Chains A and B, each alone.
Chain A
Amino acid sequence: MRNNGDFTNIAVKIERAVVSYREHVALRDVSLEINKGEFLGIIGPNGAGKTTLLSLINGLGKLVQGNVWVLGHSISGGSVNGIRKRVGYVAQLQNTDPRMPITVREVVMVGRYGQLGLFRRPHKTDRIVVDKMLELVGMSHLAKRPIGHLSGGEQQRVAIARALAQEPEMLLLDEPTASLDWRAQGELLELVRRIHESQNLTTMFVTHDLNALPDTCDRLVLMKEGRIWQQGQPELVLKQDILSQLYDAPISIQEHEGRLVFLKAG
């Protein structure tokens, strides 16, 4: 079942997926379709299965039941390495040893390694792609610095450049702004929006923090207890009563300078 049905406009199709880690069921009977070029936001409380849903798409999660097709290929059986090369992945900020002997440019070059394959060294074309992506995220001036010497916001920009250096068709972002300060958070969201539009990507953005949600989402998936609880256009689902139920906590929404601001009420 490599090419099942018509996938010309569909980037991801998930059919009745179940994922469990020992006794804990992380995803229960989840079905989802994502169109090519779509910007999908995934929100929900901690432990709702958001990260697990992302991990299904780059084949890092273990499917117990159901089917998953990514970019026209089934990842339920065959090799997922081929898919991983076409999907960029940015996780939340991780602790990097400040003495780690690897420079910013080398980190971005890692994004090329999967496509290069074994026994092949990076060519001039790879270096050109890397430089272009560093330029795109505004990190060219730090290219020679050890990665561990950068601030959190800078490291996340480098992570995005690394994912883009894969020249991916999809970009998965898992809480990329977690533990960044306000300014870095705002700049990163702006960068993600710009990249999604300019690079013709299908983007999935996971966050538990409603205020870190890019306002460019075409559709939001609301996850709770391993299920897709609701989904729809942002203006339809970003309602006080829906969100309060989703997070089991009273949430109030206010509009400030044309943007929605989410507050914990009470």
Chain B
Amino acid sequence: MDLSIFGDPFMQKAILAAFLGGVACATVGVFVVLMGISFIGVCLAHAAFAGALLGVLLGFNPMLGAFLFSLGTAAIIGPLASRGELNLDTSIGVLFSLMLGLAFLFMGLMHGTKPLGLIWGSILTVSRTDLIWLGIVASAVVAIVVLFYKEIQAVIFNREIALAVGIPAGFIIYGILFLTGSTITVSLSPIGGLLIFSLIINPAAAAYQLTYSLKKMFLLSAIFGVVSGWIGLLASYLFNAPTGAAIVVTSSLIFGLATLFSPKRKVKKWRVKDEPSRVL
């Protein structure tokens, strides 16, 4: 097996992108999984995708479009989520389908193959600018989790209780949505709009199966995210398969294995005592 390709600069950039993207997505994924807001995450991912396409269509930076669209969506969902007004599921459903519709609309108005790159991503052609942005967002995500760990822990456990003990829960929730939107935005071009979400949810969902400690869950999730990216890269090189897809399949496999060996699924065995149940 010739692995000398991993010495090439473009491959090294891809390895670094997989590391940074894996850490950022998997860390944000812990919020998404524990707060039960997967659907919000999918919605933000599609909003970012639609925004990026609009950027391509109108000739401005796609990343700016992605950022504005995902944050705009988060700003609409945020109040809905924190006040509990309207039916949250329904309103996210409406937004989600709108974003998907806009994405297809913008694609329909365009020609060429550039939109395809945003759907599937292209980690092998990741640019220096992409890497810098990935690095900034990944560092910010990790720094914020470390700095606000106790507030995040309280909000994840129970928003109402967090508010009642005097924690600015609304601020924390908006922060989490902001981080999720930013992470999706910077991961869009290396990983792709349709694939990004599996890299957010699978590593965190796998970590969730394995531990009762939030700290360990953050750590395991980040490790799974990075490992998914690296194994996916290797597999795509070995089997000449699309990289993004290989990363998604790897992260799903890790989730499958974690579920299979989850200590949380084990049923405690008990011995039937001698005393029979009585019928009166």
Chain A residues engaging chain B, CB cutoff 8 angstroms: 58, 60, 81-82, 84-85, 87, 89, 91, 94, 98-103, 106-107, 109-111, 113-116, 118-119, 121-122, 146-147, 162, 166
Q: Within 8 Å CB of A91, what residues of B? A: 160-161
Asked if residues B162 and A81 are in contact (CB atoms below 8 Å), the reply is no
Bound together, the chains give a CA A111 to CA B158 distance in angstroms of 12
Interface size bucket, B side? 20 to 34
List B contacts of A87 (CB < 8 A): 164
Given contacts A102-B157, A110-B157, A122-B150, A84 and B164 within 8 Å (CB-CB): yes
Residue in B156, B158, B165, B213 with the greatest tally of chain A CB atoms within 10 Å: B165
Contact B164 A58 (CB under 8 A): yes
Distance of A110 Cα from B164 Cα, bound (Å)? 10
* Interchain CB contact (< 8 A) of B157 among A82, A100, A115: A100
**Residue among B34, B160, B162 making CB contact with A101, cutoff 8 Å:** B34
The smallest beta-carbon distance between A83 and chain B, in angstroms, is 8
Q: What is the 8 Å Cβ interface bit string for chain B, positions 130-159, against chain A (1 contact, 0 not)?
A: 000000000000000001101101101110
Question: Apart from A87-B164, A111-B165, what are 20 other A-B pairs with CB-CB below 8 Å?
Answer: A60-B163, A84-B164, A89-B164, A91-B161, A98-B264, A99-B208, A99-B264, A101-B212, A101-B217, A102-B153, A102-B157, A102-B212, A110-B153, A110-B162, A113-B150, A113-B162, A113-B165, A113-B166, A119-B147, A162-B161
Across the interface, name the chain B residue whose C-beta is closest to A166: B165
Could you tell me which B residues sit within 8 Å of A by CB distance? 34, 147-148, 150-151, 153-154, 156-158, 160-168, 208, 211-214, 216-217, 264
Contacting pair A85 B166 (CB below 8 A): yes
Number of A-B contacts (CB under 8 A): 75
B212 (CB) vs chain A CBs: closest residue: A146
Cα-based distance from A87 to B163 in the complex (angstroms): 11
Q: List the B residue with the shortest CB-CB distance to A172.
A: B164
Q: How far is the CB of A127 from chain B (nearest CB, A)?
A: 13
Main secondary structure of the interface of B (DSSP, over half): helix
Checking B148, B160, B161, B211 against A118 with a beta-carbon cut-off of 8 angstroms, the contacting residue is B148
Known A100-B157, A116-B150; judge A110-B208 contact (CB<8 A): no
B151 touches A101 (CB 8 A): no
A147 neighbours in B (Cβ, 8 Å): 157
User: Chain A nearest CB: distance from B26 CB in Å?
Assistant: 15
Contact between A115 and B153, CB atoms less than 8 A apart = no
Collect the chain A residues with CB atoms within 8 Å of residue B153's CB: 102, 106, 110
With both beta carbons as reference points, the residue of chain B lying nearest to A147 in the complex is identified as B157
- Name the residue on B nearest A86 (C-beta): B166
Report yes or no: A114 in contact with B208, Cβ–Cβ below 8 A: no
Most buried by B among A87, A98, A99, A147: A99
Q: A84-B164, A99-B264, A101-B34 are in contact. Are A113 and B151 (CB under 8 A)?
A: yes
B212 touches A85 (CB 8 A): no
Which residues of chain A are within 8 angstroms of B165 by Cβ–Cβ distance? 84-85, 89, 110-111, 113-114, 162, 166
Most chain A beta-carbon contacts within 10 A, residue among B154, B156, B168, B264 = B154
Cβ-defined contact, A101 with B154, below 8 A: no
A114 touches B212 (CB 8 A): no
Going nearest first, the 6 A-B pairs with the smallest beta carbon separation are A114-B166, A85-B166, A84-B166, A114-B165, A89-B164, A146-B212
Q: A159 — nearest CB in chain B belongs to which residue?
A: B161
Closest B residue to A81 by CB, please name it: B166
Q: Which residues of B have CB within 8 Å of A122?
A: 150
